[in-house]
Amino acid sequence: MTPKRFALTPGEPAGIGPDLCLLLAAQPQPHPLIAITSRDLLVERAAQLGLAVSLLEVDADALPDHPAPAGSLYVWDTPLGAPVRTGQLDTANAAFVLQTLIRAAQGCLDGLFAGMITAPVHKGVINDGGIAFSGHTEFLADLTATEQVVMMLATGDLRVALVTTHLPLREVADAVTAERLERVTRILHADLQRKFGLARPRILVCGLNPHAGESGHLGREEIDIIEPTLERLRAEGMDLRGPLPADTLFTPKYLQHCDAVLAMYHDQGLPVLKYKGFGAAVNVTLGLPIIRTSVDHGTALDLAGTGKIDTGSLRVALDTAYRMAETF
């Protein structure tokens, strides 16, 4: 396997992102992994955690072609806006967080990196810092001039993609339009092929309403929108099954014969996935011209600097990005 470079962004500097990077350095990686963050931040956090990690400084003009030895970490130094107090948010570092994402994403676009892996950011402090920010996904879509992206989480052999994401429940039904459903399904299908190497992806599609509408008695979205859209896409050769009742779709009878589930809204699909694999799941942004994976948890400010964290989700995010890069 030929080594490829990957970018790692630690996210909110007061949270557990820097800790994750340092803990990760204990084990060798199969590819050169470059942490885009403040070197001073990592030095201070390593001392706080009692970790001996060798920080190997690199930059855009001198990126390594071989993995770092165990116990060391490549760092592309990115200046902080203000000193970091572990566990305490500071709006002065909002621009710093976004700068790390810009460096990573632009590096992917320029061919410096095969993909980027992100630790959690804190949306609130970025917005409080005067920068409109709704999340990694939307920020990277804007940065890469991508019109439509799709959120997909995965753990083990279960993948769940979403037609709608962070919407109030009362707005979901209006957002599930034929146009949106078609775009999302096309992106999911295409990226399962391009980035996961699945020649003919098998996709299960949830209904929107209980019992998938019960033949129209519990809602007509399945009859009027979902089924006609799926029929058009099936005519093109896509392997789509549904709409199926979400309360029975997530059972072995169905899941053993699929490559991904398409849920209509956030809390229809993700509770099942997180119950199955919280702490060992990965968030993948589909539709981007680059590979981006992320952990499935938040900044955990109260755990930063304590050493009482689990690197499981970050390891899954790394492994997923590595595998995706083999086919993309």
Write out the chain's pLDDT in tens, 328 residues: 678 999 999 999 999 999 999 999 988 999 999 999 999 999 999 999 999 999 999 999 989 999 999 999 999 999 999 999 999 999 999 999 999 999 999 999 999 999 999 999 999 999 999 999 988 988 999 999 999 999 999 998 999 999 998 889 999 999 999 999 999 999 999 999 999 999 999 999 999 999 999 999 999 999 999 999 999 999 999 999 999 999 999 999 999 989 999 999 999 999 999 999 888 899 999 999 999 999 988 999 999 999 999 999 999 999 999 999 999 9
Q: Are residues 169 and 197 in the same domain?
A: yes
- Which residues constitute the domain of residue 40? 6-146+288-326
Helix (H, G, I), strand (E, B) or coil at 98: helix
- Could you give the number of structural domains in the chain? 2
Please report the pLDDT score of residue 27 as a whole number. Answer: 87
Question: What pTM, to 2 d.p., does this model score?
Answer: 0.92
Q: Degrees (nearest 5) of the Cα angle 54, 60, 61? A: 100
Q: Are residues 161 and 236 in the same domain?
A: yes
Give the total residue count for the chain. Answer: 328
Helix (H, G, I), strand (E, B) or coil at 134: coil
Residue 217 known to bind ligand: no
Please report the pLDDT score of residue 169 as a whole number. Answer: 95
Please report the pLDDT score of residue 137 as a whole number. Answer: 86
Please report the pLDDT score of residue 154 as a whole number. Answer: 96
Please report the pLDDT score of residue 279 as a whole number. Answer: 80
Q: Are residues 102 and 177 in the same domain?
A: no
DSSP E strand boundaries for 264-306 = 282-286, 292-295
Residue 274 known to bind ligand: yes
Residue 308 known to bind ligand: no
DSSP code of residue 63: -
Residue 292 known to bind ligand: yes
Please report the pLDDT score of residue 311 as a whole number. Answer: 92
Residue 1 belongs to a domain: no
Residue 211 known to bind ligand: yes
Residue 24 belongs to a domain: yes
Residue 283 belongs to a domain: no
What is the domain-level CATH number for residue 228? 3.40.718.10
Type of residue at 74: Y
Q: Are residues 201 and 252 in the same domain?
A: yes
Q: Compute the distance between CA of residue 114 and CA of residue 100 in angstroms, rounded to an integer.
A: 16
Helices (H) and strands (E) in the chain, counts: 13, 12
Q: Are residues 170 and 301 in the same domain?
A: no
Residue 266 known to bind ligand: yes
Asked whether 92 and 82 are in contact (CB, 8 A), the reply is yes
Residue 242 belongs to a domain: yes
Chain centroid to Cα 256, Å, comes to 24
Q: Compute the distance between CA of residue 233 and CA of residue 263 in angstroms, rounded to an integer.
A: 17
Residue 166 known to bind ligand: yes
Q: Are residues 184 and 294 in the same domain?
A: no
Question: Is residue 18 reached through a cis peptide bond, with omega within 30 degrees of 0 on the bond before it?
Answer: no
